[in-house]
Amino acid sequence: MFAIIVPALNAIFGSFINSFVQSWINYKQSKLVIEEKGFEAAAKSDQAVMEAVIEANVRMAALKVQVYGTPINRFIVLIAGVPAAMHFGFVFIDTILASEFAFGTAVMGVPKLPAPYDTFEWAVVSSFFLVHAVNLGKSDVSHWLDRHRVSR
């Protein structure tokens, strides 16, 4: 009985079902191709951004070598930067030691600078000794993954 019904159904609905299934497969394949091209575009965009960042960092490093390598700049860092950095470091260490984590009271007794001068000291220390942070934000690949809800 089943052997008679299946060929009859295939004869009646076979062309419709085959065309529907083929259209569905073509739709899914084209959707995957489009999503893959979107991912490739996002990856190329991220690559271009990272190449620009690397080039900027190389140029910045070359400029720093050129500027900071001069005897005048070394002298300025020695006179202005080292004392400010040492005081800032001692205050920082004394604050950590004075916390409840360690001793609970100031061990070294290094006084903090008054209000306007502590900002100046921080500016000197950060301009001479700290490295700048780069925040490029969210990458294009991450945006693409979020849009398509792909698990990472």
Neighbours of 84 (CB within 10 A): 22
Q: What is the pLDDT of residue 152?
A: 47
Q: What is the pLDDT of residue 99?
A: 76
For residues 62 and 77, give the distance between their C-alpha atoms in angstroms, rounded to a whole number. Answer: 19
Two tokens, residue 14: 């076979």
Two tokens, residue 44: 């190329």
**Look-up of token digits 């600078």:** 113
**Look-up of token digits 């000197």:** 124
Q: What is the pLDDT of residue 33?
A: 92
For every residue of the chain, DSSP letters joined together read -HHHHHHHHHHHHHHHHHHHHHHHHHHHHHHHHHHHHHHHHHHHHHHHHHHHHHHHHHHHHHHHHHHHTSHHHHHHIIIIIHHHHHHHHHHHHHHHHTSTTTTSS-SS-PPPPPHHHHHHHHHHHHHHHPPPP----S-HHHHHHHHHT---
Q: In terms of C-beta density within 10 A (0-12 exposed, 13-18 middle, 19 or more buried), how is residue 110 classed?
A: middle
Which of 67, 118, 70 is closest to 91 using CA atoms?
118
* Ordered per-residue pLDDT tens for the chain, 152 residues: 777 777 777 777 777 777 887 888 999 999 999 989 988 998 999 899 889 988 988 898 888 778 777 888 888 888 988 899 899 999 988 888 887 677 777 778 888 889 899 899 988 888 777 655 555 667 777 777 777 775 54
